[in-house]
Structure 1
Amino acid sequence: MAIDLVSLGETFEDVIFHDLKSWPKLGEEQRCDRLLRTWGGGALLTAVAAARQRLSVQVVSGLAPGAHRFLKREGLKVRNLRKTGEPHALTVALSTLEDRAFVTYPGVNEILEERFLKALATLRGRHLHLALEPRDCAAWCQALSVVRERKLTVSWDFGWNEELVRRPGFGQLLEHIDFLFLNETEASLYGPGLDWSWRPGTTIIKLGKQGCLAWRGQRKTEVRGLPVKAIDSTGAGDAFNGGFLAGMLSGQSLSECLAFGNRIGAASTLCPGGLEGLPRA
């Protein structure tokens, strides 16, 4: 089966203490009755969200053995760039009903950029989604030029990184991305705020429970969010990305893609962690 979506980037083992009544104080122990161990990271969550909507999806990442097995059970194709003996990445999350805090051990993710760039030379599919922080923007510009010559469209979710805007070539990199995913705070970090009409391609800005908007040239499209009783918003943005891309690769209009992204993102908040609430078509 031909691959619809290649999702390339960072993955993590997630250990989530959720439903905390308050934040633990320094020097004190707080017991928590709700613990979830699962898999996360933008590349994995976006891939699974799209695959559960019946797309053919491949993940390219540095995966723990358990994450590799999980993705295979989900029916995804896997290219694991982690070598034997290299530690996988792990995040510990503390979650109350109002907010979250994280501690992350990056593991193999720290050394994957060169392997990612090499992997692009042999990737095949209709669309490439990237979920990582680029360090060598010039190298990514060159690599994406080649990818787009092979008729793949490209999307990217950088996440939050204050250093990224100061890296040489970042402005040029933005020109090589067909679909750029941001949240509201990232839109102000990487650009002038909510007005991204200046950027080529499509820029999608996720606004949480308020919904989302997109710029395609001078045209702005807005879609309201869905009223849900969220339990945990971990990974909701990545779930949105997977829903949007599933819609786009199925031929939906921009407004339909935004609405579908909202639906998948909202569903993911109904369970702890990013994976448990992802719906199946």
Structure 2
Amino acid sequence: MSSNSCDVVVVGSANMDMTVRCKHLPIPGQTILGDAFVTNPGGKGANQAVAAAKCGARTELVARVGNGMFVPRFIESYEKVGLGHTHVIRDTTTPSGTALIFVDDEGENMIVVAPGANQKLTIADVEAAKEMFLGSKVMILQLEVPLETVVHAAEIAKEVGMTVILNPAPVRTLPPALLENVDIIIANEVEVAILTGAKEVDTSTAAAACKPLIDAGVGHVITTLGKDGAIITGGDGATKVRGFRVNAIDTTSAGDTFVGALACALTEGKSLEEATSFANAAAALTCTKRGAQQAMPTRAEIDEMLL
């Protein structure tokens, strides 16, 4: 075991989120007036890492950012929750990634990401962090960084015995070389439908819909259903795990919170069903506050919801 090992390693993106609140989301060709405008550190990789850290997991982020005015805010946000950032690389040639987010009065959102330095996270960057993987428990991956980097990270993680979680967003076709090294895919209904070609994914259809992914070597597929919970699909069928009803005001980071919380729960020895329930609670709590990382719940808040 490496002295640098931890519970959760996240290889992924780090962005600055630029969010506009509005009464309703615009349609193509429409200009609308917004309300508040805020900027906060985000990115699927960093968000999931922060979520895991706030749940209590010793977590490290492997990412690439620019060298501009956003960087101090990134580092401050990571250190605030105890997230390790030794392998967050500063790129002097490319700006940091940015996400343009619109959130309406119902808490629904639209997001466009300009990847910036995220697109320059390389296989060599992953190799430089390889020693840290030894003895670490769970790796989280997404698709906001180059696919070849994700494939390589998954391969190394499996070689050293880590559990590999993939959140395939933004959704795209996944190569066999990646699927065979993934233990758990976490995706929403739309993403699962795109990945598998299924017309719909619900409790009655999940087992059949996710079969192509299971046949490709993925251990389990967790389909997130928002307030309705999640469906765990494996080779032995599908199981529904109930969700939690809350007064949602912003769903922006619910999915990322779910991923990070589930990873944390798995490092503590919880079963996949127990970990999914824990993640459902964490995601629900996130929706009761505005923002991304700052909206993510503490461990005490999650435990209280589960009492």
| Class of the TM-score when normalised by the shorter of the 2 chains | 0.7 to 0.9
Residue identity matched to 1:274? A
Partner of 2:304: none
Question: For 2:180 and 2:126, how far apart are their aligned partners in 1?
Answer: 18
Please say if residues 52 and 261 of structure 2, whose CA atoms lie closer than 8 Å, have aligned partners that are also in contact: yes
Q: CA, structure 1 residues 20+202, in 2 after alignment: closer, same or farther (shift >3 Å)?
A: same
Q: CA, structure 1 residues 244+88, in 2 after alignment: closer, same or farther (shift >3 Å)?
A: same
Please say if residues 128 and 152 of structure 1, whose CA atoms lie closer than 8 Å, have aligned partners that are also in contact: yes
Q: CA, structure 1 residues 174+76, in 2 after alignment: closer, same or farther (shift >3 Å)?
A: same
Please say if residues 117 and 140 of structure 1, whose CA atoms lie closer than 8 Å, have aligned partners that are also in contact: no
Please say if residues 68 and 80 of structure 1, whose CA atoms lie closer than 8 Å, have aligned partners that are also in contact: no
Which aligned pairs between 1:219-258 and structure 2 lie closer than 5 A? Answer: 219-258=237-276
TM superposition score normalised by structure 2: 0.81
Q: CA, structure 1 residues 111+85, in 2 after alignment: closer, same or farther (shift >3 Å)?
A: closer
Q: CA, structure 1 residues 116+236, in 2 after alignment: closer, same or farther (shift >3 Å)?
A: farther
Which aligned pairs between 1:123-142 and structure 2 lie closer than 5 A? Answer: 123-124=132-133, 125-133=136-144, 135-136=146-147, 141=151
Partner of 1:174: 179
Q: CA, structure 1 residues 110+218, in 2 after alignment: closer, same or farther (shift >3 Å)?
A: same
CA deviation after TM superposition for structure 1 residue 19, in Å = 4.2
Residue identity matched to 1:130? L
SS at match of 2:295: coil
Question: For 2:12 and 2:25, how far apart are their aligned partners in 1?
Answer: 33
CA deviation after TM superposition for structure 1 residue 260, in Å = 0.6
Residue identity matched to 1:132? L
Partner of 1:10: 13
Question: For 2:152 and 2:34, how far apart are their aligned partners in 1?
Answer: 50
Residue identity matched to 1:216? G
Partner of 2:72: 65
Please say if residues 50 and 245 of structure 1, whose CA atoms lie closer than 8 Å, have aligned partners that are also in contact: yes
CA deviation after TM superposition for structure 1 residue 158, in Å = 1.6
Q: CA, structure 1 residues 107+219, in 2 after alignment: closer, same or farther (shift >3 Å)?
A: same
CA deviation after TM superposition for structure 1 residue 65, in Å = 3.0
CA deviation after TM superposition for structure 1 residue 120, in Å = 5.2
CA deviation after TM superposition for structure 1 residue 25, in Å = 8.3
Q: 1:218 pairs with 236, 255, 262, which one?
A: 236
Q: 2:101 pairs with 70, 90, 93, which one?
A: 93
Partner of 1:184: 189
Please say if residues 101 and 111 of structure 2, whose CA atoms lie closer than 8 Å, have aligned partners that are also in contact: yes
Please say if residues 81 and 115 of structure 1, whose CA atoms lie closer than 8 Å, have aligned partners that are also in contact: no
CA deviation after TM superposition for structure 1 residue 82, in Å = 2.7
Q: Deviations over 1:129-168 (max 9, x none)?
A: 112256555x75555333322121211112133xx32x7x
Question: For 1:184 and 1:50, how far apart are their aligned partners in 2?
Answer: 23
Q: CA, structure 1 residues 108+54, in 2 after alignment: closer, same or farther (shift >3 Å)?
A: same
Q: Could you say what the CA RMSD is over the residues aligned between the two structures, in angstroms?
A: 2.4
Q: CA, structure 1 residues 62+255, in 2 after alignment: closer, same or farther (shift >3 Å)?
A: same
CA deviation after TM superposition for structure 1 residue 190, in Å = 0.9
Q: CA, structure 1 residues 115+89, in 2 after alignment: closer, same or farther (shift >3 Å)?
A: farther
SS at match of 2:90: coil
TM superposition score normalised by structure 1: 0.87
Q: Deviations over 1:168-205 (max 9, x none)?
A: xx133211101111110111111143332451312111
Number of residues of Structure 1 aligned to a counterpart in Structure 2: 274
Alignment pair present for 1:274 and 2:292: yes
Q: CA, structure 1 residues 191+55, in 2 after alignment: closer, same or farther (shift >3 Å)?
A: same
Q: 1:75 pairs with 72, 75, 82, which one?
A: 82
Question: For 2:221 and 2:111, how far apart are their aligned partners in 1?
Answer: 27
Q: CA, structure 1 residues 18+221, in 2 after alignment: closer, same or farther (shift >3 Å)?
A: same
Gap runs ≥5 in structure 2: 66-70, 199-205, 300-307
Question: For 1:207 and 1:29, how far apart are their aligned partners in 2?
Answer: 30
Gap runs ≥5 in structure 1: none
Residue identity matched to 2:236? Q
Q: Deviations over 1:66-112 (max 9, x none)?
A: 11221022211111123235310111211113432233322111222
Please say if residues 64 and 120 of structure 2, whose CA atoms lie closer than 8 Å, have aligned partners that are also in contact: no
Partner of 2:38: 36
SS at match of 2:221: strand
Alignment pair present for 1:154 and 2:164: yes
Percent of aligned pairs with the same residue?
A: 25
